[in-house]
Every structure is written in structure tokens, then in C-alpha cells.
Structure 1
Amino acid sequence: MLRAQVCSNDELSFLMEAHDGLSATIAQRSGFKGLWASGLSIASSLGYRDANEASWTQLVQSVERIVDSTELAVLVDGDGGFGNFNNARLLARKLRQAGAAGISLEDSCFPKLNSLIGERHPLADIDEFSGRLRAVKDAVADNLVLVARIEALIAGHGLNEAILRAHAYADAGADAILIHSRKSTADEMLSFVTEWRNRLPVVIVPTTYFRTPVSAYRDARISTVVWANHSMRAAAAAMRRICDSIAAQESVANIESHIAPLSEIFELLRYDELAVAEKQYLQPS
């Protein structure tokens, strides 16, 4: 399913961020056909910064909960693989065992820093990162979709460097290219897409250029759009408002209409199935 979504230019697909079982369940209920297990969102939900403070084992554990919660294919934000080729292939094997459908690896140095923070974003050597990609491909073959994420535009190295890296990563076995930009418009990303000419499908993350109409992505024959952190950010904003209100008013009376009723939580997590199962297994006729 994920290969059909990410590795095709025929129809634009969308992946929604998930960071735990509940966010994954809500995304599926809203109609999304695939999920992005966000490194930023998972780290944030664990109380860590998106700077490789959460370990690869914590990432795998979070992905396992996401996979268990839905029937959707999950593309995992694997940062740079948490080290060299050996760490990257180990991560890929463990994610495959956890049920992930794909992994995205970025050409950053360990430890990485979130792409939208600060100005210091050293890039991995092209040959070294290509080795990471080959190691992952050899370890999991076609059992995981492998997306090579290029940070050249983030690091300020320009279009030529991004294209050079894209060709190298395609040669190393990547199934798709994720081109990342922190600009407020899509111009930089679209210039890459034009120059790249769809040698491999292109994945984008329009966190900063969110005003660009989706029609522009379809016209450019982009494969996949990742809504990369929006459930986590929505949850943080909602929790802050509710906590502030309860702390100020010392009461929950005025916020009840602004939060999900427990019946909705019970429905999302299928408590009705548990009741049916109890009748079948605890009280067999």
C-alpha cells in the first residue's frame, strides 16, 4: 500500500502525522490512507527535543503502538539512522519487525537537530550517506520503502547540491526522494522538482510553505505530501488552553463542552468490541 502511494506520480497522496496510537486512530477515522511516524512529534510526546534525544528503541516502540492501532501503512521518520550504516540497517530491521511499511532517512550528521531550528545543519558526506542507504536496502530489500531525505536546501547549499545528492541517492537504491525546504513559499522546492524531472517520485513536507495550494503539487506531479506535525501541535495547543482554564477557574465545569466526551474516546478505542469479546470468552453459552 505505501509503495503504491509514495512510489507513483500518477496520483497525489497524503500522509498524516501520528505519534501514538490515539493520533493514528484519529487519522484513520478522518480518512487518511497512510501515516507519517514523525520524529519531532514522537520526541515531543515523550518530552524530548528533536535532536536525537529519544533513542532508536523508543522510536521503534512508538511505531509499534502506531502500527497496532490502525490498518494504515506507516512511513517512519528515521532521522539519519541514529549513526552510521550499521545503526541505520539495525533500525530498518527493527522497524520492519514492528510492522512499519517504510523508512525515511535524512543526510544529516548524528546527532541531528530539527531542520527548522537554528542555522547549523552539517550534511553527511554523500558517499557515506549513500552507504547508509545501500546498507538499509541490503538489510530489508523491498520489505520497506526507502525514502532518501535531502537536507541540502535546509543547510543553505542550494539547488545544484540538492540535485547532485538526489542522483547519488537514487543510484544507492532509494525508492523516492524527500526534498525539504524551510522557505515560506514553495518556489525552492518546485525548482528542485523541475530540475529533477521525476527520476524518482518526490515527497514533500510543506510545514513552512503551507499557503501553497495543493493544485501546485499536483501540477508538479509530486508523489506524496506529508502533514508532518499537525496532530501533535493541535494537541499541545488544546491541552494548554484547557490546563490554563482549569488552573485559573479551579473548576472543570466551563471546559466540558470544549473537550471530547468520554463516549468518543470509548468509541475510538472500540470498547464495544471488548464487551462483545467478554460475552464470547468469559461467558460462553
Structure 2
Amino acid sequence: MLRGQICSNSELSFLMEAHDGLSAAIAERAGFKGLWASGLSIASSLGYRDANEASWTQLVDAVERIVDSNTLPVLVDGDSGFGNFNNARLLARKLRQRGAAGVAFQDSCFPKMNSFVGERHPLAEIDEFSGRLRAVKDSVGTDLVLVARTEALIADHSMDEAILRAHAFADAGADAILIHSRKSTADEVLSFASAWQNRLPLVIVPTTYYRTPVSVYHDARISTVIWANHSMRAAIVAMRRICDRIIAREGTASIESHIAPLEDIFELFRYDELARAEAKYLHPGDLRP
């Protein structure tokens, strides 16, 4: 299903960020058709910085909880692969085993730093990163969608460099290209899309150029838009507001109308199914006429 979503130039798809089972379940209930297991959001939920402080095993465990909590295909933010070609292919195999539908690797050096922190992040050599991609493709084949993400524009390289890298990564076996930008407008990614000419499906992450109308992406024949960190950021605001009010008022009476009732949790995770299963398997005699 994910392959059809991000590997199609005919219809624009949207992936919603998830960082745990709860955020994944909420995204599915909202109507999204696919999820982005965000490296930033997963690291933040674990209390780490998005600088490869969380290990690849912690990422894999978080992805398993995301996958198990819903029925949507999950594209995983694999950072730079947590090392060289061998680390990248090992991570890809483990993600496949845990039920991920795809993985995105970026052409950054290990350890990476979040794209929006600092300046001129060092990039991997084109040949070396292409080797990572080939190793992943040889390891998992078509079982995982492989997205190659170039940080060339983030690192202040030229558009020509970004295009050069994308072509090399396509030759290495990528199924789609993710072009990243931290400009406040979509001009860079639209210029890239024009030059790229749809050789492979194109994925974008409009975190900073969020004012751009979605119709622009349709017209540019973008394949997939990732809303990359919005559930995590929304949760921070909501939790901060509630904590501040509870500490200030030394009670919860004033905030009950602003938080989800317990019944919402029970319904979201299908506690009713557990009750039916208990009746069927734990007390089967209760079902006899």
C-alpha cells in the first residue's frame, strides 16, 4: 500500500507523523492513509536529541509499537542508517521484520544532526551513500520501499549538487527521492521538482514552508507530502498548558473539560474487544445457552 502512495506521480498522498502507538492510532482514526515514523519525534518522546542519541534498536522498538497499534503502512525515518552500509542494511532488515512498509535514508554523515539545527551539515560522499542504498536494496529487495533523502539544499549546496545526488541515488536503487529544504517558501523544492522531471516519485516535508497551498504540490506533480512532527509538537503545547494549570490551581477540576475523557482511551484501543475475548476464551462457559 505504501508503495502505491509514495511511488505514484498520479495522485498526491499525505503521511502523518507518529512517534508511538497512541499518535499512530489517532492519525489512523483521523483518516490518514499512511504514517511517518519521525526520528525527531521518536527521539523527543524518549527524552533524546535528534542527533542519533537514541539507538537504532530503540528506533526499531518504537516502530514496532507504531505498527502494532494500527493498520496503516509506516515509512520510517532511518536517519543516515546509523553508520555505514552494513548498519543501514541491518536496520532495514530489522524494520522489515517489525512490519515497516518503507524506510528513508538521508545522505548525512553519522552521527547526524537535525536538519534545522546549525549550519552546513556535512554530507556523505555520493559514492559511499549510494553504496548504502545498494546494500539496503540487495538486502530487502522490494519488501521495503526505499526513499533516498538528500540534504544538499539544507547544507547550502547548489541545486545542481542536489540534482546530481538524486540521480546517483536513483541509479543506486531508490524507489523515491525526498528533497528537503528549510526555506520559508517552497521555491527550492519546486525548482528541484522542475529540474527533476519526475524521474522518480518526489517526496517533500513542508515543515518550514507550511503556508504553501497544497494545490501547488499537485501542479508540481509531487508524489507525497509528509507532515513530519506535528503530533509531537501539538502534544507539547497541550501537555504544557495542562501541567501549568494544574500546578497553578492545585487541582484538576478546571481542566477536565479540556482533556480527553477516559472513555476516549478505552474506545481508541478497543477495550470492548478485550471484554468480548475474555468472555470467549477466559470464561467460555458464560456463553453457553
Q: TM-score range by the shorter chain?
A: over 0.9
Following the alignment from structure 2 to structure 1, what is the Cα–Cα distance between the partners of residues 52 and 120? 15
Following the alignment from structure 1 to structure 2, what is the Cα–Cα distance between the partners of residues 73 and 149? 19
Following the alignment from structure 1 to structure 2, what is the Cα–Cα distance between the partners of residues 86 and 227? 30
Q: Give 2:207's aligned residue.
A: 207
CA contact (8 A) 2:120 2:154 kept: no
Following the alignment from structure 2 to structure 1, what is the Cα–Cα distance between the partners of residues 40 and 272? 33
Q: Give 1:96's aligned residue.
A: 96
Q: Give 1:123's aligned residue.
A: 123
Gap runs ≥5 in structure 2: none
Q: Give 1:224's aligned residue.
A: 224
Alignment map for 1:44-193 (pairs within 5 Å)? 44-193=44-193
> Is the partner of 1:16 in helix, strand or coil?
strand
**Cα drift, residue 120 of structure 1:** 3.7
Q: Deviations over 1:76-100 (max 9, x none)?
A: 0000000000000000000000000
The one-letter code of the counterpart of 1:242 is I
The one-letter code of the counterpart of 2:105 is L
The one-letter code of the counterpart of 2:139 is A
Following the alignment from structure 2 to structure 1, what is the Cα–Cα distance between the partners of residues 133 and 236? 34
Q: Deviations over 1:105-148 (max 9, x none)?
A: 00000000000111141000000000000000000000000000
Q: Deviations over 1:210-265 (max 9, x none)?
A: 00000000000100000000000000110000001111111101000000000001
Following the alignment from structure 1 to structure 2, what is the Cα–Cα distance between the partners of residues 283 and 177? 53
Following the alignment from structure 2 to structure 1, what is the Cα–Cα distance between the partners of residues 150 and 228? 16
CA contact (8 A) 2:12 2:222 kept: yes
Q: Give 1:5's aligned residue.
A: 5
Q: Give 2:261's aligned residue.
A: 261
> Is the partner of 1:251 in helix, strand or coil?
coil
Say what the alpha-carbon RMSD is for the aligned residues.
Answer: 0.5
CA contact (8 A) 2:56 2:82 kept: yes
CA contact (8 A) 2:24 2:70 kept: yes
Q: So what's the TM-score if we normalise by structure 2?
A: 0.98
Following the alignment from structure 2 to structure 1, what is the Cα–Cα distance between the partners of residues 82 and 200? 25
**Cα drift, residue 158 of structure 1:** 1.8
Paired residues, what number?
A: 285
Gap runs ≥5 in structure 1: none
Q: Give 2:31's aligned residue.
A: 31
The one-letter code of the counterpart of 2:193 is V
Following the alignment from structure 1 to structure 2, what is the Cα–Cα distance between the partners of residues 82 and 120? 20
> Is the partner of 1:217 in helix, strand or coil?
helix
The one-letter code of the counterpart of 2:78 is G
Deviating above 3 A after TM superposition, structure 1's stretches of 4 or more consecutive aligned residues are none
> Is the partner of 1:206 in helix, strand or coil?
coil
The one-letter code of the counterpart of 1:174 is A
Following the alignment from structure 1 to structure 2, what is the Cα–Cα distance between the partners of residues 13 and 157? 28
Following the alignment from structure 1 to structure 2, what is the Cα–Cα distance between the partners of residues 115 and 105? 13
Following the alignment from structure 2 to structure 1, what is the Cα–Cα distance between the partners of residues 171 and 18? 31
**Cα drift, residue 283 of structure 1:** 1.1
